[in-house]
Amino acid sequence: MRGAYAGWVLTVLCAALAACGGEQAAEAPRPVLVAHPGGGEQAALATFAGEVHAREESPLSFRIGGNLVRRDVDAGARVHRGDVLAVLDPGDASLQARAARAELVRLQGDLDRYRKLVAQKLVSQSAFDAQQAAYESARAQYEVARNQTAYTQLRAPRDGVIASRLAEAGQVVAAGQTVFTLAADGGREVVIALPEAHIREFGVGQPAQVELWSAPGRRLPGPIREIAPAADAQTRTYLARVALDGDAAQAVDLGQSARVFVQRNGLSAALGVPLSAVQRGDGGATSVWVVDAKTRRLRAQPVQLGPYGETEAPVLKGLTAADWVVAAGGHLLREGQQVVAVDRSNKPVLPAPAAVAKAE
């Protein structure tokens, strides 16, 4: 009895396997992340990291050397034209000015006496002229000594902000040695580095947009004001300055980090796809996976791409804005594979392919 039952079970299993042997189990559609090709203008933008600087940055230094006895401002301080920023020990300069003044007073008295004597014909005109020349020389020396005394005070040449401090009280500084860097009020600029390989895509006056790291999504307009004529010897990049004026200049602070977006010359506003969507074929041919909206199946669509950006590649030929492009994981897919197209929120963007599968 037990052997008969076992034989019956074996017979049923064999029959079931034979019935299924002619069919293959249907493969479940694979979810894939899809997106429409991005806006063309965004794909044609080049992005650079930059830092906000003042348009006019002046190194401030004493015109004479000496011991720095007082420093009145620090980095970040706002100053106005004529404000005293630092003071040198005035001792030697004051002594020289006093000596020059004493000599000038003495020669002034001599000149007055000679003027009376020459009027009385008691001295020659040439003697009087020599005395007058000596007085003029002494007066010039006194003016120089008085200026030297004034030079012991370092004053702000214009309104602005102290960007950096390079000396401390008690330090002996030389004439012309930078003590402060003054960022003058007015225009602000964002300094960026342009790559040598694409330098011909940029020019002075080219429109740009500045987005502060602290204010994402808000872009400030400003043209490229200046491009260095030669590349940096170490980085092989060209220093460029993007000008900000008016309200845009008031919206930034010195030293802030920013992104600069520049429309590259010679590159049309093509559609763009993520770099992760690009598939490389034999001979360097490029394609992307596109989901057919009717069959929900994949097809490899050949595309012609422009110069790659940081995150996107501009598509010059082969796609339309309505195509659903697989944005990632293309190396795991195959031609004709049925998929479930989802967005970044994992929500289907096309109806489920149940009807299509049933019809097949």
Could you report the per-residue pLDDT of 150-167, keeping only the tens digit for each? 999 999 999 999 989 999
- The CATH code of domain 30-43+270-359 reads 2.40.420.20
Residues of the chain with CATH 2.40.50.100: 66-89+152-183
- The distance from CA 264 to its chain's CA centroid, rounded to whole angstroms, is 16
pLDDT, residue 176, reads 93
Q: Which amino acid is at 214?
A: S
Instruction: Tell me which CATH code domain 91-150 carries.
Output: 1.10.287.470
Per residue in 56-101, pLDDT tens? Answer: 889 999 999 999 999 999 998 999 999 999 999 998 888 888 998 9
Measure the CA–CA gap between 24 and 89, rounded to whole angstroms: 97
Looking at residue 27, its pLDDT comes to 74
Helical axes 125-150 vs 91-119, angle rounded to 10°: 160
The pTM (predicted TM-score) of the whole model is: 0.55
In order, the DSSP letters of 109-174 are HHHHHHHHHHHTTSS-HHHHHHHHHHHHHHHHHHHHHHHHHHTTEEE-SSSEEEEEE---TT-EE-
Q: What is the pLDDT of residues 260-318, one digit of tens each?
A: 998 776 555 567 888 999 998 877 789 999 999 889 999 999 998 877 877 888 888 88
- What pLDDT is recorded for position 352? 62
- Cβ distance 180 to 72 under 8 Å? no
Ranges of CATH 2.40.30.170 domains, the chain: 45-55+186-263
Taking only the tens place, the pLDDT of each residue in 95-149 is: 888 998 999 999 899 889 888 888 888 888 998 899 899 999 999 999 998 888 9
Q: Does residue 51 have a pLDDT over 90?
A: yes
The whole-number pLDDT of residue 180 equals 95
- Cα–Cα distances (Å) from 188 to 76, 93, 169, 183, 208, in that order, read 16, 39, 31, 9, 14
Cα 25 → chain centroid:
57
Among residues of the chain, what percentage have pLDDT more than 90?
A: 45
Backbone angles phi, psi at 269, to 5 degrees: -80, 75
pLDDT of res. 283: 77
**pLDDT at position 354 over 60:** no
pLDDT beyond 70 at 20: no
Query: What is the pLDDT, as a whole number, of residue 12?
Result: 37
Burial class (CB in 10 A: 0-12, 13-18, 19+), 220: buried
The two structure tokens encoding residue 70 = 């007082």
Q: What is 66-89+152-183's CATH number, 2.70.50.60, 2.40.50.100, 2.30.30.140, 3.40.718.10?
A: 2.40.50.100
Domain with CATH 1.10.287.470 in the chain: 91-150
Per-residue pLDDT for 256 more than 80? Answer: yes
Provide CATH 2.40.420.20 ranges for the chain: 30-43+270-359
How does DSSP classify residue 196? G
Residue 22, pLDDT above cutoff 90: no
Tokens 């894939």: give the residue.
32
Question: What are the residues whose beta carbons fall under 8 Å from the beta carbon of 251, sequence distance 6 or more?
Answer: 212, 215, 220, 244
In the DSSP assignment, the letter for residue 348 is B
Rounded-to-integer distance, Cα 241 and Cα 197, Å? 18
pLDDT in tens, 201-243: 899 999 999 999 988 888 899 999 999 999 999 999 999 999 9
Q: What is the pLDDT of residue 353?
A: 54
Specify whether domain 45-55+186-263 bears CATH 2.40.30.170: yes
